[in-house]
Structure 1
Amino acid sequence: MKIKLTSVFVDDQDKALKFYTEVLGFVKKREIPLGEAKFLTVVSPEAPDEVELLLEPNGNPASMAYQKAIFEQGIPAAAFVVEDIRHEYERMTKLGVAFRGEPKKTGPVTIAVLDDTCGNLIQLYQV
């Protein structure tokens, strides 16, 4: 058994696609129309045939409530590993990304939390 697909709820799939590709650096893998929404996934360019991240519309009241609650509590919806967190922090800050503070060391990892502009906090971490 292995993980092939996971998701984050987003308030706007087109805005999310732009952020996740142009800012985070992922690439679009699938875009399948499903009525008003789409099955829209992105992948790491370093592993295009591995885990896909579904940018899932939060049109369901339960998903909206969940997304809002964890955001307000400061809980990241997802975590992505990076090779050089300081470099990514500086690069993304120049692009206007809002971080919840500078990268900080927490034991064997360094973390930074950012707002994805689509209703989520995302944690970057470097081991």
Structure 2
Amino acid sequence: MRRIALVTLVVDDYDEAIRFFTEALGFRLAEDVPRSDGSRWVVVEPGPHGAGTGLLLARAKGEAQAARIGDQTGGRVGFFLHTDHFARDHAQMAAAGVKFVEEPRREPYGTVAVFQDLYGNRWDLLQPAG
């Protein structure tokens, strides 16, 4: 079996990013390990017990990486957070201050709304159809 285990998300600050993903989005902190170069290996996951692909929160090093914070996909939706209960998760995220950039809508593939993470990266909150 093969699967994508981690996707890197370039961030400005580890602790700020951890707070957003764990408190506003309900992810769990899977790993936070200091590294010898002063960086940290920080992984957050959307589900319990490693369910789903994790995000490696990587603090930007240098100007080129810092310039990518919040625009890793050129303004497109780059991340897709699936849910089994759209209304519940949408309400919880909105109450936690998550910025939704559109109203929820029904599409043939499911119920969806675009939101931004704390840096402006665009995400779909998506409850797949069926």
TM-score tier (shorter): 0.7 to 0.9
Map 1:1-127 onto structure 2 (within 5 A).
1-34=2-35, 35-48=37-50, 51-69=53-71, 74-127=75-128
Listed as ranges, the gaps of 5+ residues in structure 1 are none
Identity of aligned pairs, percent? 28
1-structure distance, mates of 2:104, 2:18: 25
1-structure distance, mates of 2:71, 2:29: 28
Listed as ranges, the gaps of 5+ residues in structure 2 are none
Distance 1:58 1:122, change over 3 A: farther
1-structure distance, mates of 2:120, 2:71: 10
2-structure distance, mates of 1:69, 1:27: 24
CA contact (8 A) 2:28 2:48 kept: no
RMSD: 2.2
CA deviation after TM superposition for structure 1 residue 65, in Å: 3.4
**More deviation, 12-21/84-93:** 84-93
CA deviation after TM superposition for structure 1 residue 94, in Å: 1.5
Q: Secondary structure at the match of 2:77?
A: coil
Figure out how many residues of one structure are paired with residues of the other and give that number.
126
